[in-house]
Amino acid sequence: MILLVLLASILILAVTIYQYDEQTKDYNIQRFERKEATTKKTIELELKNKTTYAVNTVNLPKIFQERIYEISAINKLNISIYDLRGNLLKSSIASAFEKIDLKPIQANLLTELVQNSNHKILKTREENGIGYQSSFSFIHDSKFKRIGILELQFTQDNSEIKKELKEFILRLGVVYVLMFLIAIAIAYFLSSYITQSIKIISDKMEQTRLNKINEKIILNKASSEIEILVEAYNNMIDELGESAAKLARSEREQAWREMAKQVAHEIKNPLTPMRLTVQSFERRFDPLDAKAKDILKEFSQTLIQQIDVMTSIASAFSDFAKMPTQKKEQIEIISVVKFALDIFTEEYVIYHPQEKELYANLDKTQLIRVITNLVKNAIQATDTQENPLIEVRVLSEDNNLKIAVSDNGKGISEEVKELVFEPKFTTKTSGMGLGLAMIKNIIEAYDGVISFSSTEGIGTVFTVILPKK
């Protein structure tokens, strides 16, 4: 709408200037033609009734000796009389304010005049804002014989007209600017009114999520097209809710199935040696044997060891299933991390705190669990290295706490990088693959982020970023 108003204003302005210029030219020509007709009529009457001289080319200067000035003054134009060869005989230039060319008529103009069937040539030119209009025609005697050439020159100062045009354009420009501003205002309010319903729908669509309850759109006033769109959106919300419920139920069922399979698999591992131990004990045990007591003790220790394995499996699954509670208290991070690293006796575990003291609102126990899990993984990744090195760095970045655990171990291959934080995933021969998944849950519960970068054969760096508050 604004563009149309702007284009219309420009076109109207251009057409106005063009029309104004054409009307000025037409007016000047018509005015000149009226003066020309009056002047010719006066000259014809002078030659026919008022002169006592013989009407011929030679006597033309005598006939219009004084009269040419009167006719020029009355009609306000310059009059020049030439013979048939184009030589000047008489001119009103002596009493005229405008300057005219007093040279003989050019040969090409004279030829054109002779060949012109209308016996008249009109020339128009403009210099320094002043328009010059000249007409050339023949002077005839009473027998319609050519006795001379008459040049009538009319000057028109167009500066005043151009000034008026500029003033008119200025007024018109003010009107157009006002119209343009009004158009902008109307377009703004109109578009706001039209797009208000669409914006509501757009905002709702941006807020639509699969894992949350989405609200339907209710509009009191809307066009039929918008109502169709709203109805389609509301139907989509209903379908999305049903799909989300089915997906959540399916995911829960799948998660329980996977967890059950994993628990069964992990429990079967210690049950097999327990079964073999009981069978061996049944075959070997003799109550009368002198070593019966030692055999019984060995059997008991084996069973207790496997029972401890099963207990650790149950604890690991229990810790993973239990979402960490968001307990927050102000703790001094540098000392807590040092306390978590004190349980490791490996000399190649090096601590690099970047600050003397660093405080954050976190759970001390959960933070220790995060550190110990990362360092344990790093130790297991470097167990085949000749010169293992594990570095733990703690520093502050703006309003966040950053912990980086790096090692020079075997690294993580590209094929399994996307599975690192998945439950059950592990690259070790032992373990249940719940450590990283568990600490990821802990970190995300505090609105934190855990990431890693790894290169095979060079090492891995795990980075934890947690908000201080």
Query: How is the chain split into domains, by residue range?
Result: 2-165, 224-321, 329-467
Q: Output the 3-class SS for 357-401.
A: CCEEEECHHHHHHHHHHHHHHHHHHCCCCCCCCEEEEEEEECCEE
Tell me which fold the domain 224-321 belongs to. Answer: Helix Hairpins (1.10.287)
Whether 436 contacts 419, CB under 8 Å = no
Which option is the CATH number for 329-467: 3.30.465.10, 3.30.565.10, 3.30.200.20, 2.40.40.20?
3.30.565.10
Which is it for the CA torsion 435, 436, 438, 442, positive or negative? Answer: positive
Q: How crowded is residue 134: how many other Cβ atoms within 10 Å of its Cβ?
A: 21
Distance CA 442, CA 155 (A): 97
Show the tokens assigned to 414. Answer: 């590209």
* Tens of pLDDT, residue by residue, the chain (469 residues): 778 878 888 888 888 888 888 887 788 788 888 888 888 888 888 888 777 788 888 888 888 888 888 888 888 888 888 888 888 888 887 544 445 556 788 888 888 888 876 677 777 777 666 777 888 888 888 888 888 888 888 877 667 777 887 888 888 888 888 888 888 888 888 777 777 777 777 777 777 765 566 677 766 666 666 777 777 777 887 777 777 777 767 766 676 666 666 666 566 666 666 777 777 777 776 776 667 777 777 777 777 777 766 776 666 556 555 555 567 788 899 999 998 888 888 889 999 988 888 898 888 888 888 888 899 888 988 888 888 999 999 998 888 899 999 999 888 888 777 777 766 445 444 444 456 777 888 888 888 899 988 888 889 999 999 988 7
Whether 142 contacts 20, CB under 8 Å = no
How far does Cα 286 stand from its chain's mean position?
Answer: 88
Show the tokens assigned to 322. Answer: 């239990």
Distance CA 439, CA 445 (A): 10
Distance CA 353, CA 20 (A): 84
- Report phi then psi at 224, rounded to 5: -60, -35
Contacts of 194 (CB under 8 A, 6+ apart): none
Of 79, 64, 83, 71, nearest in space to 146 by CA: 83
Measured distance between the N- and C-terminal CA atoms of the chain, rounded to whole angstroms: 51
Matching residue, tokens 């959106």: 233
The answer, as to whether pTM is greater than 0.85, is no
Beta bridge partners of 464: 403, 450
Distance CA 24, CA 31 (A): 10
The CATH number assigned to the domain with range 2-165 reads 3.30.450.20
Distance CA 66, CA 53 (A): 14
Distance CA 175, CA 181 (A): 10
Instruction: Say whether 100 sits in a helix, a strand or coil.
Output: coil
Distance CA 373, CA 435 (A): 6
Whether 240 contacts 246, CB under 8 Å = no
Show the tokens assigned to 115. Answer: 């060949």
